Amino acid sequence: MSEITYREAMREALAEALSRDERVFLMGEDVGRNGGCYAVSLGLLEEFGPERVRDTPLSESAFVGAGIGAAMGGMRPIVEIMTVNFSLLALDQIVNNAASLLYMSGGQFNVPLVIRMTTGAGRQLAAQHSHSLEGWYAHIPGLRILAPATIDDARWMLWPALEDPDPVLIFEHGALYNEKGELTEATPGLDIASAAIRRAGDDVSLIAYGGTLHTALESAEMLAAEGMSAEVIDLRCLRPLDTEALVGSVLRTHRAVVIDEGWRSGSLSAEVAARITEDAFYDLDAPVTRVCSAEVPMPYAKHLEDATLPQPVRVLEAVRRLGA
């Protein structure tokens, strides 16, 4: 067992993919010479060369679309977008092409593409670098949406994502890059479909993903100090959702709090809550509740950003409201 950062885990995953399959290449803004906007791909240009670690101009739509075209042309591109807010410049390509081409062509053209991007707040980057829009993408049929929250998932989700014949979007929470942890050795056949129980418990299910997994785990620790046993579910895959795991947890705990850094209205948290209500309503002892970001564009000032984001104290308040 060795201890590495989330960033290093991701870098190892990229290096492994580039070594294992010559069809794989990485492209995006500053991924080469600069080693990645978040230093994830540092050293890969030197190891794999400029054809396979390809710097792009600031042309999100063209280089994401080029990833789609290259995937249809037989390659296995990994496209990096600096942050989810910038992915909106490529929304046409992601939604109208990547997600739709297989269906629109009657099953003829699949798009084996992986798009990685940073998401989330917590670094005082204000309203155009901090949002959590992965829930929007989880709305789109044809896409698989992953949110690695642990060192292991950062390390081991990429290869199965590349083996998926269809487009996969990987959301890396920016606050996680410096997280350190122990890496489990290769998990063969690690799935990119199911949710994981990160902490077992009986009194309440805390459902989280990506950046909010840590909020949930911290909350569970605080609840334990109060004598309450919380189960922490990490969604891992936001589309398709592992409804079975959600329902399974609620059948044990009979209470659920969804913790999502996205906004509450029309959100992923709403989808999770709806699924629990649809499939486990009569097993609930209290309404499903949600802890989400305040409905404001992300403010810059530290105290305001903190007030915007889901914090453990708000999770605890929510749990108490459930009467657990």
Partner 1 sequence: MSATRRVPPKTGPRSEAARADAHLVHLLTQMLRIRRFEEQCVELYSRSAIRGFLHLGIGEEACAVGVMEALGPEDAVVATYREHGHALARGISMRATMAELEGKLEGASRGRGGSMHIFDAPSRFFGGNAIVGGGLPLALGLALADHLAKRQRVTACFFGDGAVAEGEFHETMNLASLWHLPVLFCCENNLYAMGTAIERAQAETDLTLKAASYRMPAWEVDGMDVVAGEKTAPTAAEAVRAGGGPHFVEMRTYRFRAHSMYDPDRYRAREEIERWRERDPIPALTEELKARGLLDDAGLERIEAEVAAEIRDAVAFADAGALEDVADLERFVVSEKGGGQ
In the residue annotation, 129 being an active-site residue is answered as yes
Q: Which residues contact 74 (CB under 8 A, 6 or more apart)?
A: 23
CB of 208 to partner 1, least distance (A): 26
Residue type, 142: G
Nearer to partner 1, 105 or 178 (CB): 105
Among candidate residues 8, 29, 129, 172, the one labeled active-site is: 129
Q: Does 60 participate in catalysis according to the annotation?
A: yes
* Residue 22 host element (H or E): none
Rg (C-alpha) for the chain, rounded Å, is 19
Give the position of tokens 């564009």: 297
Least Cβ distance, residue 27 to partner 1 (angstroms): 9
- Name the β-bridge partners of 81: 117
Q: Which is nearer to partner 1, 12 or 166 (CB)?
A: 166
Complete edge-to-edge strand list for the sheet that includes strand 24-28: 53-55, 24-28, 76-83, 114-119, 168-173, 144-146, 237-239
Distance CA 68, CA 73 (A): 9
What distance in Å separates the CA atoms of residue 208 and residue 97, rounded to the nearest whole number? Answer: 30
Q: How far is the CB of 104 from partner 1 (least distance, A)?
A: 5
User: Smallest distance from the beta carbon of 257 to partner 1, in angstroms?
Assistant: 31
Choice among 60, 172, 261, 305 that is catalytic: 60
CB contact set of 310 (below 8 Å; sequence gap of 6+): 212, 215, 259, 260, 261, 291, 292, 293
Q: Which residues bind partner 1 (CB under 8 A)?
A: 25, 51-52, 56-57, 59, 61-75, 77, 92-93, 96-97, 101-110, 112, 141-142, 144, 165-166
Tell which residue, 192, 194, 221, 216, has the closest CA to residue 205. 216
Beta bridge pairs of residue 116: 80, 170
Closest approach, Cβ 102 to partner 1, in A, equals 5
Residue 93 Cβ vs partner 1, minimum distance, rounded to whole Å: 6
Quote the CA–CA distance of 38 and 55 in Å, as a whole number: 14
Q: Going by C-beta distance under 8 Å and a sequence separation of 6 or more, which residues neighbour residue 14?
A: 26, 40, 41, 44, 78, 158
CB 117 within 8 A of CB 84: yes
Minimum distance, C-beta of residue 70 to partner 1, in the bound complex (Å): 4
CA 316 – CA 311 distance, rounded (Å): 9
Q: Residues with catalytic annotation?
A: 60, 129
